[in-house]
Chains A and B, each alone.
Chain A
Amino acid sequence: MNGSQDYVLYDALNNIKRNGEFNGSIIIKCKNENIILSESVVIDDNNLILPEGLLIGLDNINNSKKEAISESSHYTLRLDENLIEYCLLVPKELIEKFDKERFSDAFPYTINLLHSACLFLNDNNFSINHLDFFKGEILKNPVALINRGICLADRVVIDDTGDPIFYDTLIIGRDSHDHISVSYEAFITVDDVLIKYIIILGIESLKGHI
């Protein structure tokens, strides 16, 4: 875990807010369990502005069905609406590690989904579980919301027991003092009971991704 808190740009729980324009790898966790990824963010007294962000989450289609969304757009998030839990700029050295260990798309045995889809959803009303179907496969670009954190990985493999193993992973979460921490793991196995959802990002939303 990274000890310094410089990378935290906004934290509603600990009253942290750093005004300014920030560029790099920005990740935002919303209180409604959505996640937003962006290359830049402008934070002023009232707003958090993302010129081009990718909103990842789940949307209610009707009372009995939810589906994954990954929407690219300009986002202006009003801070007084109290929608954001935290926003952080992932340290460069972690991103370098993350990039270095990525699988190339030329690797033949990985599955890229065309459109974003929910692989797993742990919800009392609308459960989704495709883990068994993809057992043993390598799925590219998973994003998972896990208990108190986010897991953004290059690929995920479902092991024999049906648990997902995330490879080349950035893990963002809160420690026992509720401080936000970000770390890198080459691979990590997560018990599916801890997972709220896993969304596999489709290459349509990442056009030009190499």
Chain B
Amino acid sequence: MLLWENKKQKLLKILKIGINPFKKFVSTGEIKENLGLVSSRTDFLNDLEDIINKNENFILPIIGEIGVGKTHLFWALKDQLKDNYNTIYLSLENIYKRFYYNLYSEFIESIGVENLRIITNNLCFKWNGIDKKYGFFPISNLQKARNNGIERYGPSIDDKRALNDVINVITSHRLDPYNRIEAENYLLGELLNVRELSALNVEKDLRDKNNAFVLLKILIENSKSGTLIFIDNFEKIISLLKPNDETEVVFDSSWLYGSTENPDSRTAKKILKKILKLQKINSLRIIITLNSLNSLEEIKKLVSNIDHNLLLTFKDPVFLSKFQEGDIYSFYKDNMKEFLQHINYQDLTDEFANSYHPLTKEALKYIYQKADGNPREVIKLLIRIFNELIYHDATANDIDCRYKELC
């Protein structure tokens, strides 16, 4: 019978298997962050929610230095808004090409196929596409629905060919039992062959930017939940516009693009224009993240050159600040608790609820000061210290003596 167990020793043994509780110091839009925000950021998150709820069609810049937790904020925001908004993460690194198609794919992934069916169903009802035969049996009236859909969106969409395509697909999805599967595949972003497109009476699939934009507009405007696009690392636009002198030039692009522009800067301008065009989608909210206020000013200059009026959609920036000292303690405890639960050692979470074992409060305070409150730097230092424990056979006492040296 086990009368007493050295839990501290047990925790160290678990760690020495080779699992570091702190291993990820960069958040991404693909891998979900389970850890919430630290307490000093709760008000910040609530303020953001307030701005999102009270406004429509805006671009809200969030400014924070590198590693302060802007991407992590996306996951907290997504979690906070999950009941009322589809929150979509976009990284300009990833959607360099086919911007609207990629954005559409993210949107569809976020809403899911069931909500997609509800939206197309409601649209066909709105467009009077369903008549009642003998007062009881619903029958489809494709042409009537198509005419009403085109009449509704015609004034706000310039590209009539794309509008026709999109209305045909939406109405087929709900009202045409023979082409329902093809229509659903189209709406889910799958690429169709010519035969399938012709069955749907459609010219182009969603690789065509106008089709993708029009479909995005109609679905977002008719979605029951609001839509928020979180565009991370918006500075990418600026970095693309500036020529990189260190890159070895193999091909002289001036032959194609003239001497004043390089291909990257043209792409950057195109992306910016596409993002700004999203403002034509009613009730769409956009958040962009930037590292500094200077970058925001540069972005605003670029926007002003395209259309000065669009500057009105920019909200005053909000600033994501560094950790406060109290945050590192709660962050450390929450992270350790999550780690122990993840490896199925919940019994140890209660044991260390009031201690910072194998570190000490002094060590955490020193780490906070050394990292200057930057969360990413804090995590990097914690990784280094825990690696010392795991791989160099150090004890908790050793760490207590040597944490300054290790940082």
Q: Which residues of B contact A152 (CB under 8 A)?
A: 136
Q: Which residues of B contact A141 (CB under 8 A)?
A: 137
At the interface with chain B, which of A12-20, A192-200, A201-209? A201-209
Q: Which residues of A contact B140 (CB under 8 A)?
A: 208, 210
B136 contacts A210, C-beta separation under 8 Å: no
Q: Which residues of A contact B112 (CB under 8 A)?
A: none
In the assembled complex, how far is the CB of residue A155 from the closest CB belonging to chain B, in whole angstroms? 13
Per-position binary interface string of chain B over residues 132-166, scored 1 when its CB falls under 8 Å from any chain A CB and 0 otherwise? 11111111100000000000000000000000000
Kindly state whether residue A59 has any CB partner on chain B within 8 Å: no
Chain A minimum-CB-distance residue to B139:
A208
A25 and B136 contact, Cβ closer than 8 Å, known pairs A105-B177, A106-B180: yes
Kindly state whether residue A181 has any CB partner on chain B within 8 Å: no
B132 contacts A209, C-beta separation under 8 Å: no
Interface size on B, residues (CB 8 A): 13
User: For the complex, what is the distance from the CA of A90 to the CA of B136, rounded to whole Å?
Assistant: 10
User: For the complex, what is the distance from the CA of A25 to the CA of B140, rounded to whole Å?
Assistant: 17
B130 contacts A210, C-beta separation under 8 Å: yes
In the assembled complex, how far is the CB of residue A184 from the closest CB belonging to chain B, in whole angstroms? 13
Q: Which residues of B contact A54 (CB under 8 A)?
A: 134
Interface size on A, residues (CB 8 A): 26
B137 contacts A209, C-beta separation under 8 Å: yes
Kindly state whether residue B187 has any CB partner on chain A within 8 Å: no
Kindly state whether residue B175 has any CB partner on chain A within 8 Å: yes
Q: Which residues of B contact A27 (CB under 8 A)?
A: 135-136
A210 contacts B134, C-beta separation under 8 Å: no
In the assembled complex, how far is the CB of residue B132 from the closest CB belonging to chain A, in whole angstroms? 6
A106 and B177 contact, Cβ closer than 8 Å, known pairs A39-B132, A206-B133: yes
Kindly state whether residue A85 has any CB partner on chain B within 8 Å: no
User: For the complex, what is the distance from the CA of A37 to the CA of B137, rounded to whole Å?
Assistant: 10
Kindly state whether residue A38 has any CB partner on chain B within 8 Å: yes
Chain A minimum-CB-distance residue to B176:
A210
In the assembled complex, how far is the CB of residue B135 from the closest CB belonging to chain A, in whole angstroms? 4
A39 and B175 contact, Cβ closer than 8 Å, known pairs A207-B139, A208-B139, A210-B139: no
Chain A minimum-CB-distance residue to B140:
A210
* Contact among A37, A40, A72, A208 for B136, CB-based, below 8 A: A37
User: For the complex, what is the distance from the CA of A208 to the CA of B137, rounded to whole Å?
Assistant: 9
A210 and B135 contact, Cβ closer than 8 Å, known pairs A105-B177, A106-B180: no
Q: Which residues of A contact B175 (CB under 8 A)?
A: 210
Q: Chain B CB within 10 Å — which of A24, A27, A152, A210 has the most?
A: A210
A206 and B135 contact, Cβ closer than 8 Å, known pairs A105-B177, A106-B177, A106-B180: no
Kindly state whether residue A99 has any CB partner on chain B within 8 Å: yes
User: For the complex, what is the distance from the CA of A52 to the CA of B135, rounded to whole Å?
Assistant: 10
A24 contacts B135, C-beta separation under 8 Å: yes
A52 contacts B177, C-beta separation under 8 Å: no
Kindly state whether residue A26 has any CB partner on chain B within 8 Å: yes
In the assembled complex, how far is the CB of residue A94 from the closest CB belonging to chain B, in whole angstroms? 11
User: For the complex, what is the distance from the CA of A106 to the CA of B175, rounded to whole Å?
Assistant: 11
Chain A minimum-CB-distance residue to B125:
A99
B134 contacts A53, C-beta separation under 8 Å: yes
Q: Chain B CB within 10 Å — which of A39, A102, A141 has the most?
A: A39
Closest 5 CB pairs of A and B: A208-B139, A25-B135, A39-B135, A37-B134, A54-B134
10 other A-B residue contacts (CB within 8 Å) besides A27-B135, A102-B138, A207-B139:
A24-B135, A38-B135, A39-B135, A40-B135, A105-B177, A152-B136, A207-B133, A208-B140, A209-B138, A209-B139
What is the interface of chain A, defined by CB distance below 8 A to chain B? 24-27, 37-40, 52-54, 72, 90, 95, 98-99, 102, 105-106, 141, 152, 206-210
A-B contact pairs, 21 of them (CB 8 A): A24-B135, A37-B134, A37-B135, A37-B136, A38-B134, A39-B132, A39-B133, A39-B134, A39-B135, A90-B135, A95-B136, A99-B138, A102-B138, A106-B180, A141-B137, A207-B139, A208-B133, A208-B140, A209-B137, A209-B138, A209-B139
